[in-house]
Amino acid sequence: MVSTAQAQSGKASWYASGHRTASGERFNPNGLTAAHRSLPFGTRVRVTNESNGRSVVVRINDRGPFAHGRIIDLARGAGRAIGMNGVARVAVAVVD
């Protein structure tokens, strides 16, 4: 079930560097994880690429993004799963 109370739409980017996440985990650039400014670590969200309709469920394990105008940073593996090239407009919704 997707929570509409915590749905967002905006720009996403992917990142592939770093050794440890803000939650203390070792960063896996090919993983299905993401960084969000305020959602609790461990929260699962569905990220949908608005240009092609592809979606992926990721787990929040880091903080960010720190670039202005972005709502989520995906690990490279998650970005590839939804066909992202650089920055994409996405919908983000918490999965219950």
Tell me: the pLDDT tens digits for 31-48? 999 999 999 999 999 999
Tell me: the pLDDT tens digits for 76-90? 999 999 999 999 999
Range of the domain at 26: 2-95
The torsion of the CA quartet 38, 86, 58, 71, rounded to 10 degrees, works out to: 20
Q: What is the pLDDT of residue 19?
A: 83
Q: Which amino acid is at 52?
A: N
pTM, two decimals, is 0.90
Tell me: the pLDDT tens digits for 44-67? 999 999 999 999 999 999 999 999
**Is there a contact between 44 and 71 (Cβ–Cβ < 8 Å)?**
no
Q: In 3D, which of 43, 48, 16 has the Cα closest to residue 29?
A: 16
Where residue 17 sits, what CATH number does that domain have?
A: 2.40.40.10
Report CA torsion sign: 77, 87, 18, 34.
Answer: negative
Structural domain count of the chain: 1
Torsion angles phi and psi, residue 32, rounded to 5:
-105, 65
